[in-house]
Chains A and B, each alone.
Chain A
Amino acid sequence: MPRIPLGDWVDSGVDWLVAHLSWLFDAVKAVMEGMYDGIDTVLAAPQPLLMAGILAVVAWWLRGLLAGVLAFAGFALVDSLDLWDRAMSTLALVLVATVIALVISLPLGIWAARSKTVSAAVRPVLDLLQTMPSMVLLIPAMLFFGLGTAAGVVATLIFALAPGVRMTELGIRQVDAELVEAAEAFGTTPRDILWRVQLPLALPTIMAGVNQVIMLGLSMVVIAGMVGTGGLGGAVNEAIGQLDIGYGFEAGVGIVVLAIYLDRVTGALGTQLSPLGRRAAAKTRTRAWSYRPRPAVALAGVVVLALVAGGLGVFGPSAGTSEASGTDVGKGQEIRIGYIPWDEGIASTFLWKEILRERGFKVSTTQYTAGPLYTGLATGQLDFQTDSWLPTTHAEYWKKYGGQLDDLGKWYGPTSLELSVPSYVKDVNSLADLKEHASEFDGKIIGIEPSAGMMSLLKSTVLKKYRLEGTYDVVDGSTPAMLAELKRAYARHQPVLVTLWSPHWAYSDYDLKKLEDPEGAWGKGDGVHTLARKGFTADNPLVGRWLKDFSMTEEQLTGLEARIQKAGKGKEQDAVRDWLRDHPGLVDKWASVAKDGPHSEAAG
């Protein structure tokens, strides 16, 4: 069989699209982000409990009193978990994706119902969209739309389109042919047949499709979180990345509350919209606890609550502005930092967030996995990131994106990559010892994300040098999974072989042994580099210089990491602030303005 270069075609196709249709993607992106911002602003404006009240009244109207009470309780729970803003931004994301999905899928479904050719053409495309692993489509989506809401909406859309199209087509095809014929026999135009006969009768099925679109959209928010949409999906991702089970569960509960609410409300909406459903519902509804306000009453309730909410939200106190001072060189300018949830990445990112904030910049930080992070930086969606391991570990990324990035130099090093075993594994001390002890480790090396640079280095070089190919399998997974496996094996006192790197907190938590590398297969240690998008240093010469000059000692870095680890998830900023307070002068040293001021800014 000749090798069909399908992958190459896709690559060049994507490149061509990026090069030639960027105006189109920008326009689409602007529309999506505009919609999202609008909806998010509206949802997030009121006090959480007021908004919960509004949502509860909607549930009450559509499903009855009990549903209203439960809805309120659910949203109050989300608020008490401090996830309100994230929940609302997820809700906004899902709503935008749903609206766009319906705008596309309803006409497409109608068209497919009327033409066998269209139906046959659309079906395999839907299959592809629905079953193609989402990350495979997510990366191109990021190249087209950049990091953030638009890529998240697209990822959600892709997945959620199919049921919308399918159910619309099914609903219309299911309409009794004799009814359509009757309409024709009375001289109805095709358009009126659609509007007066087919759509009303297909409505329950179509609404089931809408419901599916929403639910699938919601199930995609975690994936969407990987490209930086924030919200509950982002929270789950952060929690997973940092093995924070409790926080992950809380965010998960938030998603569940949203899911149940949206499912029940859209389900009831289907009955309300369809004349047949309305009639059926009217017959059964008699009991007091299922009393529902009339639409007018419900609408009035929502409007009153919304007015109160709007009053408080719009005219209430706005967020505090940062105080102007002599060191305010940022003047509210926005800087976007991306980071991988590795400890040194978190520490340095939040360190710079704090420093830049003190210098008057407005800083946003978003967590990504390595792939999206580099893509985002290369496409200019992010300004800089501080956690690039060069020249070895991230060599692949540097090869692909280096041309679009500026290396601002190493701020920490050297680092090392290694395979490690618990120190109770007695007779394995070097990579050279592994060959004879394969059975002890079940022939498995517990790896991390296959996208990580050290994984390709391990597979392509290290295994070869020590002739371990065939005797060992590298288990692809994720950092949290690797750490969980290490923890499990460690607790049971079982032998385990993991990929690790220094510095890493695992070395302080567990008694581990780094396997020696007599052949030097892992290469010399990396430096941790700061990378910026092309043009960042030209736009911000001062910040560029600070970053170029930045360096940390091992004692400083581990100290800061430990402080953050102790403070716990969500308190990174406070930990950094405390740490800086204990180390006075560092901010001025790393981000000097007093000495050089605007004078050197011009020179830089």
Chain B
Amino acid sequence: MSPRLEAEHLFKVFGRRPDDAVERLRRGADRAELRADGATAAVIDASFRVEAGEIFVVMGLSGSGKSTLLRMLNGLLEPTAGSVRFDGQDLTALGDRELRALRSRKISMVFQHFALFPHRSVRDNAAYGLEVQGVPRAERERRADEALALCGLAGWETSWPDELSGGMQQRVGLARALATDADLLLMDESFSALDPLIRRDMQDQLLQLQKTLKKTIVFITHDLNEAMRLGDRVAVMRDGRIVQTGTAEDILLRPENDYVASFIQDVDRSRVLTAGALMDTSVTADAPLCGCETATPETPFTRLCAIGARLSHRVSVLDEAGRVVGVVPRRRLLGFLGDETAAPVACDNPEGKVISHA
């Protein structure tokens, strides 16, 4: 099955003689060199695939080109080179009219600062995409109300955007995007402008919705914790290039280079890592050897520690069929917590005598 969305060797250069600039970038020129000549390379040779029903997070600091990348996925910006395929259709080959039709039916977008229309009621905002499609008023209001209810805004339909809190406004933004039944949801730093507590709320709600809706989502963020929480897969961008693509654990456990490594330093690993990522897969069995408590590959790190503390031996990790797919020794838990991967050093007092009493 081909991926729902596929980007191949995307380039976006602003400024003078963009095609030349792409040529030079392909030959290995760097960003600073181009800037001297008046061209700004926003996205350089970006390739990735997003499967249907997946949340794909693009993460990078501001100026890394992630918003530009997002806007090439729905044709708001035309790539300087490369192609974007959505459902097997090459967006770069489409004319304005077809592109607009695609945007109104198949792709919707949620913005950083909500971008709600202040002169429209909450309901009219949510119904905007349907209005553009030409859906009759009664139907579009029904569908807008459904989308609002889905986002927890039932009863607010006749309010005005400026009467709502930030979190509620972004729910309207989300409802507007969901109301059109688009398959692909582009979210541009959608939760970055919210307070941390509300941001977490919104992330939970998005994950909750995603369980039933199974949209294909491309989510842009500069917040690594958010990326780890939401992303089935994460692409890390730096200076216009995608430096690593992989699952949250891939990024955390196997950073491709120093940049990614330094980036993930501050991440609270205990929230992200699961037994599946930590376990020693060299030990497997058809069934556990004892009746002690066990974990699953999805068990988060903190719960794993709790189980480990209650057991006298390593924790077995079982799959759905009850087979042992790996084990987690206690030392491994400590090692990950302390970012230590080296083998333990030998002790000079192997008998383990007590050295002193308190």
User: Measuring CB to CB, which residues of chain A are less than 8 angstroms from any residue of chain B?
Assistant: 176, 178-179, 181-189, 192, 197, 200-201, 274-276, 279
Query: Which residues of chain B come closer than 8 Å to A187, judged between CB atoms?
Result: 99-105, 129, 132-133
Are B119 and A185 in contact, CB atoms less than 8 angstroms apart?
Answer: no
CA gap between A214 and B110 in the complex, in Å:
42
Are B111 and A182 in contact, CB atoms less than 8 angstroms apart?
Answer: yes
Interface centre among B76, B101, B109, B117 (most CB of A within 10 A): B117
Query: Which residues of chain A come closer than 8 Å to B48, judged between CB atoms?
Result: none
CA gap between A29 and B123 in the complex, in Å:
49
Query: Which residues of chain B come closer than 8 Å to A182, judged between CB atoms?
Result: 109, 111, 115, 117
Query: Which residues of chain B come closer than 8 Å to A276, judged between CB atoms?
Result: 118-119
B118 to chain A, nearest CB (A): 6
Are B129 and A186 in contact, CB atoms less than 8 angstroms apart?
Answer: yes
Are A185 and B76 in contact, CB atoms less than 8 angstroms apart?
Answer: yes
Are A186 and B180 in contact, CB atoms less than 8 angstroms apart?
Answer: yes
Across the interface, name the chain B residue whose C-beta is closest to A177. B115
Given contacts A179-B117, A185-B109, 19 further A-B contacts (CB under 8 A): A178-B112, A179-B115, A183-B128, A185-B74, A185-B76, A185-B103, A186-B128, A186-B176, A186-B180, A187-B99, A187-B102, A187-B105, A187-B132, A188-B132, A192-B132, A197-B117, A200-B119, A274-B119, A279-B160
Task: Count CB-based A-B contacts (< 8 Å).
Answer: 58
Residues of chain B in range 50-79 having any CB-CB distance to chain A below 8 Å: 74, 76
Query: Which residues of chain B come closer than 8 Å to A274, judged between CB atoms?
Result: 119
Interface centre among B103, B119, B129 (most CB of A within 10 A): B119
With A187-B100, A275-B119: A178-B111 Cβ-Cβ less than 8 Å: yes
Are A189 and B100 in contact, CB atoms less than 8 angstroms apart?
Answer: yes
Query: Which residues of chain A come closer than 8 Å to B108, judged between CB atoms?
Result: 185-186
Across the interface, name the chain B residue whose C-beta is closest to A278. B119
Q: Does B199 contact A (CB under 8 A)?
A: no
A96 to chain B, nearest CB (A): 31
Are A178 and B132 in contact, CB atoms less than 8 angstroms apart?
Answer: no
CA gap between A192 and B176 in the complex, in Å:
18
User: Measuring CB to CB, which residues of chain B are less than 8 angstroms from any residue of chain A?
Assistant: 74, 76, 99-105, 107-109, 111-113, 115, 117-119, 128-129, 132-133, 160, 176, 180, 186
**CB contact between A186 and one of B104, B112, B113, B118 (< 8 Å): that residue:** B104
Q: Is the interface of B mostly helix, strand, loop or mixed?
A: mixed
Query: Which residues of chain A come closer than 8 Å to B103, judged between CB atoms?
Result: 184-187
- The 3 residue pairs across chains A and B that have the minimum distance between CB atoms: A187-B104, A182-B115, A187-B103
Query: Which residues of chain B come closer than 8 Å to A189, judged between CB atoms?
Result: 100
Query: Which residues of chain B come closer than 8 Å to A176, judged between CB atoms?
Result: 115
Are A201 and B115 in contact, CB atoms less than 8 angstroms apart?
Answer: no
**CB contact between A181 and one of B115, B117, B129 (< 8 Å): that residue:** B115
Across the interface, name the chain B residue whose C-beta is closest to A186. B129
Across the interface, name the chain B residue whose C-beta is closest to A200. B119
Can you list 18 residue pairs at the A/B interface with Cβ under 8 Å?
Answer: A178-B113, A181-B111, A181-B115, A182-B117, A185-B186, A186-B132, A186-B176, A186-B180, A187-B99, A187-B104, A187-B105, A187-B133, A188-B100, A188-B132, A189-B100, A192-B132, A200-B119, A276-B119
A62 to chain B, nearest CB (A): 20
CA gap between A492 and B63 in the complex, in Å:
77
B347 to chain A, nearest CB (A): 62
CA gap between A515 and B108 in the complex, in Å:
90
CA gap between A274 and B120 in the complex, in Å:
11
CA gap between A489 and B180 in the complex, in Å:
83
Query: Which residues of chain B come closer than 8 Å to A192, judged between CB atoms?
Result: 132
CA gap between A292 and B45 in the complex, in Å:
63
CA gap between A192 and B107 in the complex, in Å:
19
Across the interface, name the chain B residue whose C-beta is closest to A279. B160
Query: Which residues of chain A come closer than 8 Å to B109, judged between CB atoms?
Result: 182, 185-186
A440 to chain B, nearest CB (A): 71
Across the interface, name the chain A residue whose C-beta is closest to B121. A275
CA gap between A200 and B74 in the complex, in Å:
26
Across the interface, name the chain A residue whose C-beta is closest to B128. A186
CA gap between A275 and B118 in the complex, in Å:
9
A188 to chain B, nearest CB (A): 5
Across the interface, name the chain A residue whose C-beta is closest to B112. A178
Interface centre among A184, A187, A188, A200 (most CB of B within 10 A): A187
**CB contact between A201 and one of B100, B107, B118 (< 8 Å): that residue:** B118
CA gap between A189 and B112 in the complex, in Å:
22
A581 to chain B, nearest CB (A): 70
CA gap between A275 and B125 in the complex, in Å:
14
CA gap between A271 and B100 in the complex, in Å:
33
Are B132 and A201 in contact, CB atoms less than 8 angstroms apart?
Answer: no
Across the interface, name the chain B residue whose C-beta is closest to A180. B115
CA gap between A184 and B74 in the complex, in Å:
10
CA gap between A200 and B99 in the complex, in Å:
25
Are A178 and B119 in contact, CB atoms less than 8 angstroms apart?
Answer: no
